[in-house]
Amino acid sequence: MKKYKIAVIKGDGVGPEIIDATLQVLDAVSVNEDFELEYEEYLMGGIAYDITGSPLPEKTIKGCKEANAILFGAIGGPKWDNLPRHLRPESGLLKLRQELGVFANLRPTLVYDELVNASTLKESVVKGVNLVVVRELTGGIYFGTPREKGDDKAFNTMVYERYEVERIAKIAFDLAMKRDKKVCSVDKANVLEVSQFWREIVIEIAKDYPEVELTHMYVDNAAMQLVRDPKQFDVILTGNLFGDILSDEASMITGSIGLLPSASIGGRVGLYEPIHGSAPDIARQGIANPIATIASSAMMLRYALNENSAATKVENAIIKTLQDGYRTKDLSQFRAKEVCSTIEIGSIIAGFASK
């Protein structure tokens, strides 16, 4: 029997609830497969700061590096908002991404047919949307130096090195080859040198992928096009900050930010997490939607563990649950037969996934 070590980080806010729901699904799906999952819990974020004084304790970094994959809930909350930057929960996550070298963040946006009415956009605009944002995750303005915050002036630096653009572009083109063979690279090359550089390198990499159609879009236009006609996109390739913004925007095409998973890959160990935050306003009420995390665990099974049959079972179980009308509160107005708590939705998905 194969054994995989999964580092589990519940984090803050709704993190523990959505992870508990997800672990039920993983347990259920592994019953009929020839692998076992061993979970080891680690602290990160506000809770880690409260207990250890650091948002990312050394023990967490070490445990994550030794695991086969990392499943992560969410971090942050108003309680820690006034801490100095390096102690904030977000710094823990950013440092973990950097430590792991997970430079590629894949954020698929898939509109479930059952939820076409949940989107704030018209059904005709969103039905059938299936795109993925490939966001560069360990560079750009998030990490560039110099950076400084003074009394009269503050600044950050948006910087990309050639190798950083090359490797993320390759990920996007490789992915496009398995999909509809379209890459739209999003930048701000009409204003920023760093974007002009990005664009030139993407064009160079594209030469190795003659079958893939490459287009370029300025980020302001891309933000507009995403709500005007999201079906025009297959793979959106972009930098760290633009990808952060566009992936939140893309999530609302699907009706709820509680549905979108992500995989951060490119290092030895991958990090699998929902794209949403810790939602402190709804924490501990049992109403958070765990589907984004459950879908992230499916990405984990597929990309990190190569357990494709289990991954497909989890994905199908999500679809079946939605088809049967089970909804968490965020989606209760959309063809709901029954409104369920976070853990109940997890059990229902687990039930379908174990078949």
Residues that bind ligand IPM (CB under 6 A): 76, 90, 93-94, 244, 275, 277
Q: How far is the CB of 145 from ligand IPM (least distance, A)?
A: 18
Active site residue 220: yes
What is the C-alpha separation between 63 and 39, in angstroms, rounded? 11
Q: How far is the CB of 55 from ligand IPM (least distance, A)?
A: 11
Q: Which is nearer to ligand IPM, 244 or 307 (CB)?
A: 244
| Other beta carbons less than 10 A from residue 141's beta carbon | 17
Q: Cβ contacts of residue 270 below 8 Å, gap of 6+?
A: 69, 70, 100, 102, 263, 264, 300, 303, 304
Q: Which is nearer to Mg ion, 299 or 305 (CB)?
A: 299
Q: How far is the CB of 267 from ligand IPM (least distance, A)?
A: 16
Partner from ligand IPM, Mg ion, none contacting 250, C-beta within 5 to 8 A by type: none
Active-site residue identified among 79, 231, 248, 320: 248
| Other beta carbons less than 10 A from residue 31's beta carbon | 11
Active-site residue identified among 188, 234, 329, 330: 188
Active site residue 151: no
Q: Which is nearer to Mg ion, 141 or 319 (CB)?
A: 141
Interface residues toward Mg ion, by CB under 5 A: 244
Place of tokens 């003659």: 210
Q: Which is nearer to ligand IPM, 90 or 249 (CB)?
A: 90
Active site residue 142: yes
Q: How far is the CB of 40 from ligand IPM (least distance, A)?
A: 23
Partner from ligand IPM, Mg ion, none contacting 93, C-beta within 5 to 8 A by type: ligand IPM
When CB distances to ligand IPM are compared, the closest residue is: 90
Cis ω before 55 (30° cut-off from 0): no
Q: Which is nearer to ligand IPM, 91 or 119 (CB)?
A: 91
Active site residue 163: no
- Pairing type for strands 270-274 and 261-265 reads antiparallel
Greatest CA separation for the chain: 62
Active-site residue identified among 244, 313, 326, 330: 244
Active site residue 188: yes
Q: Which is nearer to ligand IPM, 277 or 290 (CB)?
A: 277
What is the C-alpha separation between 178 and 211, in angstroms, rounded? 11
Active-site residue identified among 4, 42, 49, 142: 142
Q: How far is the CB of 32 from ligand IPM (least distance, A)?
A: 33
Q: How far is the CB of 275 from Mg ion (least distance, A)?
A: 6
What is the C-alpha separation between 68 and 310, in angstroms, rounded? 16
The residues carrying an active-site annotation are 142, 188, 220, 244, 248
